[in-house]
Amino acid sequence: MLEDIWYWPPDPEDLKRERRKARELKQSQWWKNRRAHNHCHYCEREVPARELTMDHIVPLARGGKTTKANVVPCCKACNTQKLHLLPVEWEAHLERLRKG
């Protein structure tokens, strides 16, 4: 279950710094090019670029950083469902949903 996953909250100052970096990265041409593909990294649905959100593959809450290698465009639904899950946890969650 999602609530069974534990993590140690990051330092508030680190979190603030990473969120600032994310805001700056969202303004970059690199990010605009990533969104221009119009699809969600996770569900692969076609989504208008303006509706894509920036998701940290390794969430900030789990020690992830705002780097080009750690952010992907995804739809709001996937971003909301993924929460603070690591990739392996997210895949396990999706597998449980598929099995019912």
What does the DSSP 8-state code read for residue 57?
S
The DSSP symbol for 10 reads P
**Total-model pTM:** 0.86
Query: Does residue 5 register a pLDDT over 70?
Result: no
**pLDDT mean across residues, the chain:** 92
The CATH class of the 32-100 domain is mainly alpha
Residue 8 has pLDDT above 60, yes or no: yes
Query: Does the pLDDT of residue 9 top 70, yes or no?
Result: yes
Residue 6 pLDDT class (50, 70, 90 cuts): low
**CA nearest 48: which of 72, 14, 20, 73?**
73
Domain residue ranges in the chain: 32-100
Give the pLDDT confidence of 41-78 residue by residue, as tens digits: 999 999 999 999 999 999 998 999 999 999 999 999 99
